[in-house]
Every structure is written in structure tokens, then in C-alpha cells.
């Protein structure tokens, strides 16, 4: 069973419907015990980093998600959920994240003609040194849907699974072991996104 973590921020039902569209069972839960029992865990999110991490900590969902990652279960952060995987965010001050991946979350630099937030369709470039199993059976440069003003700067280049340009390259996806993140929204990315969610359901369990 896939558990989609409900901490009050995110388009949870649309993520659930996307998994259902690829034939997977996915439940939405705010119960840390349900996260602990899950085979796979998705951490979605839309909104402010500080509010999100505070709610995760208040409910104990932060510990449940971290334990799922350490247990070897496939875990995926989406949009804000991907940013929460990192050590620190610069959004409205400095805020500590889950610390599962080294790096920080920063804002796009304002400049004439650059639209912030970065919103709409953009193409991915995959990192050849970190082939990600979520991107199997995809075209060379698939288009996906973004909505964000902040992006992650991983401390380890080898954690980057894909980039996009706005206008310079930024990290669009990360992967390390059983932990994955997408800055874009697979559930809004049509066929490409459904393939990503289907691939997530097919990842081998690493739980002993």
C-alpha cells in the first residue's frame, strides 16, 4: 500500500487519483502509524516551507517519514515535499528541513523578464551519472508541469536526477537509493507523470 502523507498542505486527492489511474492503491493519511505500515510513502506539498515543516514536526509525521526512508521503503517528495527532504530552506528566513539530503532551498533570482513563480510546462534533462528508475520508458526530454518560486541546491551533484532551465539549469528531480524527489507535479504532467508514478509503484522493496 502507498500512503500519501496528509499534513494539511497539498493537492492530495489529485495525487491519489493519479496512482489510481495506473492501477495502484494509495491512501491519504495524517497518522504516523499508517506511514510506518506503508510499503511506499509519498510526501506531497504546496505552500510555505516553514508552515509545512512545523506541521510535520507537530504531528510526528516527520519522524515517521524519516524512519520509512531509513527502513529502505521507496519514498517520494513532490514539489514542496521534495524541498522538505533537504537540510535548510531560505524561504522567509532560515528553516531546518528533514535533513535526509544535504543541500539547501533557495529562491530564483529576480531579473528583468524572468517570471517568478516558474509556472507551466518545461522540459527535463536527465543526469547521465544518476540514472533514475522513475524515468524509465520516457522520451529524451519529456515535458512536465512546474509551479514554484524556490528550488533545491543539492550539496552532492550525484544526487541530481534531472534538471530544467529557468533560464539557467536548476534541479528538477533528485534520487539517492530509495529516496526520490520531483520539483514538478507528476499528477499534472499527463502521460509523462503517470509513467513516473507507475515506475514508483514498481520499485523493489528494500525492507528487511
The set of catalytic residues is 79, 185, 187
Show the cell assigned to 205: 522493496
What ranges make up the beta strands (E) of the chain? 2-5, 26-29, 40-43, 75-78, 86-89, 95-96, 101-107, 118-123, 125-126, 143-148, 150-154, 160-165, 169-176, 179-182
CA distance 81 to 148: 12
CA distance 164 to 100: 23
Q: Answer left, alpha or beta for residue 117, where phi above 0 means left and psi between -120 and 50 means alpha.
A: beta
CA distance 141 to 124: 5
Residue 116 neighbours by CB distance under 10 Å:
14
DSSP class of residue 116?
Answer: S
Amino acid at each position: 500500500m502507498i500512503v500519501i502523507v496528509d499534513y494539511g498542505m497539498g493537492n492530495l486527492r489529485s495525487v491519489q487519483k493519479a496512482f489510481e489511474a495506473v492501477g495502484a492503491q494509495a491512501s491519504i493519511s495524517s497518522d504516523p502509524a499508517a506511514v510506518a505500515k506503508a510499503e511506499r510513502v509519498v510526501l506531497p506539498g504546496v505552500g510555505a516551507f516553514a508552515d509545512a515543516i512545523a506541521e510535520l514536526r507537530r504531528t510526528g509525521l516527520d519522524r515517521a517519514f524519516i524512519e520509512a526512508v531509513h527502513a529502505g521503503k521507496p519514498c517520494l517528495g513532490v514539489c514542496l515535499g521534495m524541498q522538505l527532504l533537504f537540510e535548510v530552506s531560505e524561504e522567509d528566513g532560515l528553516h531546518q528541513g528533514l535533513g535526509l539530503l544535504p543541500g539547501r532551498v533557495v529562491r530564483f533570482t529576480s531579473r528583468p523578464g524572468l517570471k517568478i513563480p516558474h509556472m507551466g510546462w518545461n522540459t527535463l534533462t536527465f543526469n547521465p551519472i544518476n540514472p533514475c528508475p522513475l524515468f524509465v520508458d520516457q522520451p529524451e526530454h519529456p515535458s512536465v508541469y512546474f509551479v514554484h518560486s524556490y528550488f533545491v541546491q543539492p550539496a552532492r551533484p550525484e544526487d541530481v536526477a534531472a534538471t530544467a532551465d529557468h533560464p539557467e539549469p536548476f534541479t528538477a528531480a533528485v534520487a539517492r537509493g530509495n529516496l526520490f524527489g520531483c520539483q514538478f507535479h507528476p499528477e499534472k504532467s499527463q502521460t509523462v507523470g503517470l509513467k513516473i508514478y507507475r515506475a514508483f509503484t514498481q520499485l523493489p522493496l528494500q525492507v528487511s
